[in-house]
Copies of this chain bind each other. A is one copy, B any other.
Amino acid sequence: MSEVHEQGGTAATRPTMRDALVEAAFELFSERGFEQTTVDDIVSLAGVGRRSFFRYFPSKEAVVFPDHDGCLADMTTFLEQADPSGDPVAQVCDAARLVLRMYAGNPSFSVGRYRLTKQVPNLRTHELSVVWRYERTLAGHLRTRYAARADGALRADVIAAAVVAAHNFALRSWLRSGGEGDVGAAVDEALQLVVDTWGDGAAEGRSESQDEEVVVMVARRGTPMWRVVQGVEAALEQ
């Protein structure tokens, strides 16, 4: 387990300039707005050259989301190390909680950023692409775990979208409140809906394990046969 993703090498050398840029950017963004702030304004406040800004951030929007690259990498390694026999839905929920932890770890920054992204269309769009990468990462994990199922890829995409939606629902509610209350509990509650619906021991009726010998398959009349077989197969052969 490496450190919590200090993307530089030896701990304290790299962050200086990058952090200075982020700090300067947020100072200007919050006092005069995103679109009213030019990159030249940021670099002159940070006391660095203009060219250096684009060495650290690919665009002016990216400086608003400086921590997501590392978090995405953390999520990726987390899922790679996940137990191949555990409930994949629970695993992607835990992966989503990594993102939450990042937001909750810096409430004032997160709330400030939220207010900013809410107002600036460009930032909203950029946030969508950030969220999209998380969602694709979760979906990728689920796809490999559901590879045996005929509808595995579809299930993976749907569940990943549901997890992200539930996570964002609770997160945004917390951000809207200004960072008051227990986000962790709120996200747990929201994700519970997804786990109850899609996780192991939910849905098409593996009736818990009251016996360990019996499997119950529930299907609506008219369900295509292949779908039934799939469900039974998944339950029996796992």
Contacts and interface: CB of A to CB of B under 8 A. Distances in A.
Interface residues of A, number: 46
Interface string A221-238: 111010011001100100
Interface string A9-47: 000000000000000000000000000000000000000
Interface in A127-160: 128-129, 132, 151, 153-155, 157-158, 160
A217 B217 contact: yes
A160 B154 contact: no
A220 interface: yes
Contact of A215 (B128, B154, B197, B219): B219
Contact of A154 (B190, B218, B222): B190
Nearest to A129: B125
Contact of A160 (B153, B157, B165): B165
A140 to B, nearest CB: 14
Interface in A96-126: 124-126
Interface of A: 124-126, 128-129, 132, 151, 153-155, 157-158, 160-162, 164-166, 168-170, 190, 193-194, 196-198, 203, 212-223, 225, 228-229, 232-233, 236
